[in-house]
Amino acid sequence: MNQHIQPSSTINGEITIPSSKSFAQRAIACALLSKEKTTIKNFGFSDDELTALNILLASNKKVIQKDQTLEIDSSSVLSFKKKEISFNEAGLASRLFTPLISLTKKDVILSGSGSLNKRPMDIFDSIFPQLKVFFQSNNGKLPFKIKGPIEPKSITIDGNLSSQFISGLIYAFVGSNKLKDESITLINPTSIPYIELSLEVLKNFGILLKLKNNKIKFNGPYNFKPAKITIEKDWSSASFFIVAAALKGSITFKNMNPNSKQADISIVDVVKEFGANVKWNENSLTVSKNKIGRFSFDATNAPDLFPPLAVLASFGEEESSITGVSRLFSKESNRAKTIISELTKLGANIKIDGEKMLIAPAKSPSIYAVNSCNDHRIAMAAAIFGLNLNKPIEISNFEAVNKSFPTFYKLLESVT
């Protein structure tokens, strides 16, 4: 069964975006490290969040779940009850939790499914032996076999690969009782906001670290404090509706954090440059259509904005550009290719020039059907694109949105 998206003459409404899966997974990671009580509120139910929850439930932590609240407690050293843990298709989880699992003394097999098994993670093959961790991979890909405990030492990492690996190693260092005054130095770091988000979550547990001059200096071992965390709303998910509002009407987003460390909050500045009206009223954001223009944006630190911004640019008055194409190659799909292949079917006029994606105003569609390629962000981008056409479109593999945003189509229907 496929999803049909009807064109819409206008968009209007007030919505609440789901919780941030990036924030939620980091909160669970820190709770795994803590020996104190952790309360996590506003936990979501996307596939990626449920994967992180299952990793937590596989540990020796005591977990009480009441609706969207998790109460986590344990006074013992981290261990896992299962010999095999699955990351399913959750890329962040695989990179964030693998280093944490290296804190344990037993052999653990780590597996994945779907596209995650094709995503390169050979940085672990080079880093873990330096940290006295036994590690085997499938030529740099899942499945992994791992046995710790990790022994922190000062290391240098190519930060151009992914901030997710770095966040995982930061957390593993912090969770090690062998940590002293080691450091992690980054070369050519990208996605700095995501590293800052990881450090921001640590603050809730009483641990203050800074990224300064591309280096994080530790002074361990650390003692975690009891923590109460409310997961903020997800700017990555909001970005698609923000684009829809900038092109088709007006939407108010409730309970958003105007001071969020999430990289994708930069979508607000992009739609303003494009010509939309943006207004904050405490924690409520209203985005409204005003002028239709163009924009130029460097998405190197926010690559998840490529799909919604490709839609925004397609309905501008002249060519727009997005920089950072190389960050798209190892997502749920090769997102550079799928953005072009699928949105072009709907009339998008996109080409790649080195690190830049150049998007000119859209032409008439060739067909009114696309395939998400099992990529949640391609499915959502196609849906928002379809609102702007003159006929309904059909999206196959539409259920890919469950990875991050299970209520996407329901919310879209509520504002169209």
Structure tokens at 206: 């009483």
pLDDT tens for 320-364 read 999 999 988 755 568 999 999 999 999 999 999 999 999 999 999
Answer whether residue 76 shows pLDDT above 90. no
- Verdict on whether the full-model pTM lies above 0.85: yes
In this prediction, residue 330 carries a pLDDT of 59
Pairing of strands 227-230, 249-253: unpaired
Give the pLDDT mean for 18-41: 97
pLDDT tens for 361-398 read 999 999 999 999 999 999 999 999 999 999 999 999 99
Answer whether residue 247 shows pLDDT above 90. yes
Give the pLDDT mean for 111-124: 93
- Please choose, from the candidates 189, 200, 171, the residue with its C-alpha nearest in 3D space to the C-alpha of residue 92: 171
Positive/negative CA dihedral, 401, 406, 408, 409: positive
**CATH, domain range 3-18+233-415:** 3.65.10.10
Residues of the chain with CATH 3.65.10.10: 3-18+233-415, 21-230
**CATH, domain range 21-230:** 3.65.10.10
In this prediction, residue 334 carries a pLDDT of 84
- Please choose, from the candidates 382, 383, 373, the residue with its C-alpha nearest in 3D space to the C-alpha of residue 409: 383
pLDDT tens for 26-35 read 999 999 999 9
Give the pLDDT mean for 173-182: 97
Q: Are 225 and 297 in contact (CB under 8 A)?
A: no
